[in-house]
Amino acid sequence: MTSHNANESPSTTAHREEAARRDGARCIVLTVSDSRTAATDESGALIERMLTEAGHVVVTKQLLTNDEVALRTALDAALAREDVDAVLCTGGTGLGARDRTVDVVRPMLERELPGFGELFRMLSFLEQIGAAAMLSRALAGAARGKFVVVMPGSRAAVELAMTRLVIPELKHAVREIRR
């Protein structure tokens, strides 16, 4: 699914993509879940909406099962795209046997940003769920010239991460990675 309207002319789409290159980030959203469907993927939809409202472009959005091979394949394809600045993942960050997102993403990172996970857990502890925040393995980093973020799957966690961390620093992180 792309954020482009099928009724837009190619010149309108090209203009929007040029503006994103100049002003915003071009993003891929990956939801990793065994229980969500396209209709119930609130977290992925929230990420897409928040990115768009902040002036970024969602190039595509995918819903994947908690399958390491499928996630690695999707992430590898996303990182290979020249028209993408950032990959935002939601889901698979807990301690459950099927929560494998972090295990797939971390080895693909060239540089990890420990501060993202630390700040997310601190904010989550203070503002939402208390000590249960330590059960999240949220992380971010750089891979192949792209900013990669892994957030928990809950809507509240996504809203917290996007509002307090991702949206305020997305353009800056992309610029720094590309330098």
Average pLDDT over residues 61-86: 93
Helical H runs in the chain? 10-23, 42-53, 68-80, 101-105, 114-124, 155-161, 167-178
What is the average pLDDT value for the chain, to the nearest integer? 87
Which stretch of 19-23, 64-68, 139-143, 146-150 has the lowest confidence by average pLDDT?
A: 19-23
Band of pLDDT at residue 11, cut at 50, 70 and 90: low
Which stretch of 53-57, 72-76, 81-85, 95-99 has the lowest confidence by average pLDDT?
A: 95-99
Average pLDDT over residues 4-10: 47
Band of pLDDT at residue 14, cut at 50, 70 and 90: low
Query: Looking at the predicted structure, is the pLDDT value of residue 4 above 70?
Result: no
Average pLDDT over residues 112-126: 95
**Radius of gyration of the chain from its Cα atoms, rounded to whole angstroms:** 15
Domain-wise residue ranges, the chain = 10-178
146: phi then psi, degrees, rounded to nearest 5: -120, 150
Going from the C-alpha of 172 to that of each of 80, 86, 106, 107, the distances in angstroms are 21, 12, 21, 23
Q: Is 170 left (phi over 0), alpha (psi -120 to 50) or beta?
A: alpha
User: Strands across the sheet with 26-32, in order?
Assistant: 57-64, 26-32, 86-90, 146-151, 139-143, 111-112
Task: Classify domain 10-178 at the CATH superfamily level.
Answer: MoaB/Mog-like domain (3.40.980.10)
pTM equals 0.84
- Selection from 136, 88, 101, 138 nearest residue 116 by Cα: 138
